[in-house]
C-alpha cells in the first residue's frame, strides 16, 4: 500500500469520511500470478516473479487498495509447514498442505515451531526483507503481519472434519492444540513486526470460524483471537468468507476493526450484527459475479450493494472474500467504475 492509501485506511476504520468510497481487494496466489501471466510455481519460487506480479497489479490499478499488499505467501502451506506438514506444489495449481495429526493422541507430541527457522516461514519473511527497499522505492510500504488463524491451521494439521469432531468429543485436547498454535502465532506476528518496523497492522484469515456455532466460537475461537488481536496496531483485519452470522456479533469484542466476509449475509444485516466500529470489506459475489459476470452485471450488482447499505461509513467495497481465480482486468475496472457511480 502507498502511504496515502494506508493513512486513508486508518481514517476509514476510525469512521472518518474520505469523501468518496475507495475499493479494496485481497490478492494472492488464487488470482494474482495467472492474471499477471506467471505460473504459480514461479510465483512461489522466484522473488523477482513474485515482486513483478504485485507491482503489475499496483500499477495497473493505482486507485485500488490491495491488501495486505506485496503479500509474501505460499498459499495454505505457510504455517502448517512449520509444524512439519508435507507440502505439495504443482506447476500451476494451488499448493496443498498434508495432514500431520492422524489421531487426537498425537497432539501431545507436537512442539511449538520456531517461526524464525521452521518450515517455509523464514523464506516468506526473508523475501520481504530482501525486497523491502524495492517495494518502498516503488512507493509502497509493508504494513501488515500476516498469518492464517489458529482454527484454520488446526484444521490443516488434523483435517477439517477431524478437528470439528475433536471440539465436540474431546474439548480439552482441542484447547490444547489451539493453545499451542496461538502461542506460535504470537511469536510469528511478533517476529514479522520486529523484522519490518513499518508494520502497523495484523491480518489473519480463518474460515473455520464459519463452521462453528456461536457458542463453539465463543469457547474455542474468541479468547484466542482476542489474545492475538490485542496489539497496539492501527488496523486489525480478519478474513472469514465462510458463514459469519453466528460469529459477527463477537468480532468487536475480539478487537477486529476491519472484516472481509463472504456472501451469505447481506451487508445491511451484517452492519447490525457487527455493530459500530467494525469496517466491512465486501461483499460482491466473487465467483458468480466478479469472475463470471460481464461488466454490466457487475455494475448493476455493485451499485445495488452500495445503495442497500445506506450508511457508507466503516465500509470498503470489495468482493466477498479474496479475489477469485479468473477475474479479468475489464471486470475489476467495471467494479471500480460502479463504486464511483454508486457514490454520486
Mean pLDDT throughout 258-265?
A: 96
Mean pLDDT throughout 14-22?
A: 91
Report the pLDDT value the prediction gives residue 343, as an integer from 0 to 100. 54
Question: What b/e readout covers 184-220, taking b as 16+ CB neighbours within 10 angstroms?
Answer: bbbebbebbbebbeebbbbbbbbbbbbbbeeebbbeb
Contact 193, 201 (CB under 8 A): no
pTM over 0.75: yes
Would you say residue 266 has pLDDT above 90? yes
Would you say residue 301 has pLDDT above 70? yes
- What letter would DSSP give residue 76? B
At CA 308, angle to CA 334 and CA 242, rounded to 5?
80
Beta strand 258-261 with 315-319: parallel, antiparallel or unpaired? unpaired
- What are residue 189's phi and psi, to 5 degrees? -70, -35
What is residue 203's three-state secondary structure? strand
Band of residue 276 on the pLDDT scale cut at 50, 70, 90: confident
- What are residue 213's phi and psi, to 5 degrees? -70, 165
Mean pLDDT throughout 214-233?
A: 97
Q: Which residues contact 71 (CB under 8 A, 6 or more apart)?
A: 27, 28, 54, 146
Report the pLDDT value the prediction gives residue 19, as an integer from 0 to 100. 84
Q: What is the mean pLDDT of the chain?
A: 96
Report the pLDDT value the prediction gives residue 341, as an integer from 0 to 100. 77
Task: State which fold the 3-204+216-234+281-342 domain adopts.
Answer: TIM Barrel (3.20.20)
Would you say residue 247 has pLDDT above 60? yes
Mean pLDDT throughout 111-129?
A: 98
The separation between CA 79 and the C-alpha centre of its own chain, rounded to angstroms, equals: 14
Band of residue 17 on the pLDDT scale cut at 50, 70, 90: confident
Report the pLDDT value the prediction gives residue 100, as an integer from 0 to 100. 97
Report the pLDDT value the prediction gives residue 342, as an integer from 0 to 100. 59
Would you say residue 344 has pLDDT above 80? no
Contact 182, 113 (CB under 8 A): no
Contact 259, 273 (CB under 8 A): no
- pLDDT above 90 covers a percentage of the chain that reads 94
**Which has the higher per-residue pLDDT, 25 or 309?**
25
Q: Which residues contact 15 (CB under 8 A, 6 or more apart)?
A: 276, 277, 313, 314
Band of residue 148 on the pLDDT scale cut at 50, 70, 90: very high
Amino acid at each position: 500500500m502507498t502511504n496515502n492509501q494506508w493513512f486513508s485506511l486508518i481514517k476509514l476504520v476510525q469512521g472518518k469520511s474520505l469523501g468518496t468510497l475507495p475499493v479494496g481487494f485481497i490478492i494472492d496466489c488464487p488470482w494474482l500470478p495467472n492474471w499477471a501471466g506467471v505460473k504459480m510455481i514461479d510465483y512461489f519460487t522466484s522473488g523477482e516473479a513474485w515482486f513483478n506480479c504485485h507491482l503489475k497489479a499496483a500499477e495497473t490499478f493505482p486507485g485500488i487498495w490491495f491488501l495486505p499488499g506485496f503479500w509474501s505467501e505460499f498459499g495454505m502451506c505457510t504455517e502448517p509447514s512449520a509444524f512439519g506438514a508435507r507440502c505439495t506444489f504443482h506447476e500451476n495449481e494451488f499448493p496443498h498442505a498434508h495432514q500431520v495429526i492422524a489421531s487426537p493422541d498425537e497432539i501431545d507430541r507436537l512442539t511449538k515451531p520456531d517461526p524464525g527457522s521452521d518450515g517455509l516461514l523464514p523464506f516468506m519473511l526473508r523475501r520481504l526483507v530482501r525486497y523491502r527497499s524495492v517495494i518502498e522505492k516503488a512507493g509502497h510500504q509493508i504494513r501488515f503481519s500476516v498469518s492464517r488463524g489458529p482454527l484454520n491451521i488446526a484444521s490443516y494439521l488434523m483435517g477439517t472434519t477431524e478437528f470439528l469432531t475433536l471440539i465436540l468429543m474431546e474439548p480439552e485436547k482441542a484447547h490444547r492444540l489451539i493453545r499451542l498454535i496461538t502461542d506460535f502465532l504470537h511469536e510469528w506476528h511478533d517476529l514479522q513486526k520486529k523484522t519490518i518496523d513499518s508494520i502497523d497492522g495484523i491480518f489473519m484469515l480463518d474460515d473455520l470460524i464459519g463452521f462453528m456455532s456461536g457458542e463453539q466460537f465463543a469457547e474455542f475461537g474468541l479468547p484466542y483471537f482476542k489474545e492475538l488481536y490485542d496489539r497496539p496496531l492501527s488496523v486489525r483485519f480478519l478474513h472469514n468468507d465462510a458463514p459469519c452470522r453466528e460469529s459477527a456479533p463477537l468480532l468487536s469484542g475480539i478487537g477486529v476493526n476491519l472484516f472481509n466476509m463472504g456472501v451469505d449475509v447481506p451487508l445491511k444485516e451484517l452492519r447490525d450484527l457487527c455493530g459500530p466500529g467494525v469496517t466491512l470489506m465486501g461483499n460482491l459475489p466473487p465467483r458468480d459475479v466478479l469472475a463470471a459476470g460481464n461488466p454490466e452485471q457487475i455494475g448493476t450488482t455493485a451499485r445495488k450493494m452500495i445503495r442497500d447499505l445506506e450508511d457508507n461509513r466503516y465500509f470498503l467495497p470489495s468482493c466477498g472474500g479474496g479475489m477469485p481465480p479468473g477475474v479479468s482486468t475489464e471486470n475489476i475496472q467495471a467494479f471500480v467504475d460502479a463504486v464511483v457511480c454508486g457514490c454520486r
